[in-house]
């Protein structure tokens, strides 16, 4: 095992730690670690990320399900169109994207550049969500007759972007569940983890047959991330998750801007 692999697995542990400490956001680091530290191509990295995110979210979803914090009815309305779109994106849309999409002068926008820039944009959006002050979540939102239709439409969009970038999209799903699904914050988080787990794992199934999967590496990386989740959950009893999440939000913002500059300028 060379130094880059060692650093990569340390990165996996950090992903798990952040997930365990803050309850989300750590998975946004998975693709950059796989691409820039372990030198995987973005298509493979986003596929691996779906598996890692799916397994990691499953642990959180199970804990929340035991506490009665997963609304299965709302989850079904959201998850079915979302995971269908994730699967279609991974199975058919990603392979159909040409290696060279378009060019501006001598600069060629390749599939790899497109995926990484899309991912970086998602990182910036996620970071801004983390940095935004929380509103009072004690008040329930009025239920709209259009909620199910709006949830369905938003699920399709989220499913597409999840399929492209290999990230869970919890920072978009949670507000949608609160506003459109009329869920409390705690139930929205639990239901979101369930949706992310289903979306990610079914999306990963869409990659089987399209890419060569190194199962030994993927399972090892995932196992290290899961260990990090348990460690993070333990340390969360002693560390302020809110302060950590704000600091992590700034880190993700800087990383997102760096990736955009690296892919388009450097």
pLDDT band at 214 (very low <50, low <70, confident <90, very high): very high
Given 3-state DSSP classes, what are the helix, strand and coil percentages for the chain, each rounded to the nearest 5? 75, 5, 20
Output the pLDDT for position 218.
94
How many percent of the chain have pLDDT more than 70? 90
Output the pLDDT for position 241.
64
Contact 221, 96 (CB under 8 A): no
Ordered by start, the domain boundaries in the chain are 3-264
Output the pLDDT for position 110.
95
Structure tokens given for 80: 């079915």
Range 71-77, long-range pairs (CB < 8 A, 24+ positions): 71/177, 71/181, 71/183, 71/187, 71/190, 71/191, 72/194, 74/151, 74/177, 74/181, 74/183, 74/191, 75/191, 75/194, 75/195, 75/198, 77/148, 77/151, 77/152, 77/155, 77/181
Contact 221, 52 (CB under 8 A): yes
pLDDT of residue 204 exceeding 90: yes
The whole-chain average pLDDT of the chain stands at 85
What distance in Å separates the CA atoms of residue 196 and residue 187, rounded to the nearest whole number?
A: 14
Give pLDDT tens digits for 71-104: 998 888 888 999 999 999 999 999 999 999 999 8
Count of CA atoms in the C-beta half-sphere (13 A) of 28: 32
Give pLDDT tens digits for 131-188: 887 665 444 444 444 467 787 888 898 899 888 887 767 777 877 788 777 888 788 8
Output the pLDDT for position 136.
53
pLDDT band at 111 (very low <50, low <70, confident <90, very high): very high
Taking CA atoms, 49 is separated from 60, 183, 244, in Å, by 17, 28, 23
Out of 84-88, 123-127, 139-143, 219-223, which region has the weakest mean confidence (pLDDT)? 139-143
Which residues, other chains included, contact 90 with Cβ-Cβ below 8 Å and sequence gap of 6+? 47, 50, 163, 203, 204, 206, 207, 210
Give pLDDT tens digits for 28-67: 888 899 999 899 999 999 999 999 988 988 888 888 899 8
């Amino acid at each position: 095992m060379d130094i880059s692999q060692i650093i990569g697995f340390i990165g996996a542990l950090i992903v798990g730690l952040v997930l365990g400490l803050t309850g989300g956001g750590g998975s946004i680091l998975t693709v950059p670690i796989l691409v820039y530290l372990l030198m995987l191509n973005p298509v493979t990295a986003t596929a691996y990320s779906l598996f890692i995110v799916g397994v990691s979210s499953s642990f959180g979803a199970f804990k929340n399900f035991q506490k009665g914090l997963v609304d299965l009815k709302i989850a079904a309305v959201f998850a079915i169109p979302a995971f269908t779109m994730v699967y279609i994106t991974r199975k058919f849309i990603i392979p159909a994207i040409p290696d060279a999409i378009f060019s501006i002068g001598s600069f060629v926008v390749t599939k790899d550049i497109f995926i990484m820039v899309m991912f970086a944009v998602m990182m910036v959006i996620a970071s801004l969500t983390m940095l935004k002050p929380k509103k009072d979540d004690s008040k329930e939102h009025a239920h709209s007759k259009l909620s199910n239709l709006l949830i369905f439409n938003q699920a399709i969009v989220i499913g597409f972007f999840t399929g492209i970038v290999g990230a869970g999209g919890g920072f978009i799903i949670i507000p949608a569940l609160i506003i459109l699904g009329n869920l409390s914050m705690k139930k929205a988080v639990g239901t979101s983890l369930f949706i992310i787990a289903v979306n990610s794992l079914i999306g990963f199934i869409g990659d089987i047959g399209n890419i060569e999967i190194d199962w030994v590496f993927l399972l090892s990386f995932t196992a290290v991330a899961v260990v990090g989740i348990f460690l993070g959950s333990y340390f969360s009893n002693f560390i302020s998750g809110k302060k950590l999440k704000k600091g992590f939000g700034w880190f993700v913002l800087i990383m997102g801007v760096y990736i955009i500059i690296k892919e388009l300028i450097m």
